Amino acid sequence: MSGISTHVLDTARGRPAAGIRVHLSHGGVVIGSRLTGEDGRISSLLPAGTPLQPG
């Protein structure tokens, strides 16, 4: 199964949005939280070893 990808864009400026906090939750509980990098992306929101389940 593939992971979760993120790419945050600032459409007003036409470039990636750096420094934006993104939360991943399951059942109302935050299981991952990271900031976007200079390219507007986050390499991994899931903590290491956390399985990704469909649904």
- pLDDT mean over 15-40: 94
Q: Which two tokens stand for residue 24?
A: 């991943």
pLDDT at 15 over 90: yes
pLDDT at 1 over 80: no
- CA neighbor of 31 nearest in space, from 14, 44, 16: 44
Residue corresponding to tokens 């509980």: 29
- pLDDT mean over 33-55: 87
Contact of 34 with 23, CB cutoff 8 Å: no
pTM: 0.78
- Region label for 54, one of left (φ > 0), alpha (ψ between -120 and 50) or beta (otherwise): beta
pLDDT at 24 over 80: yes
pLDDT at 13 over 80: yes
- pLDDT mean over 28-55: 88
For the chain, what are the domain ranges?
A: 6-42
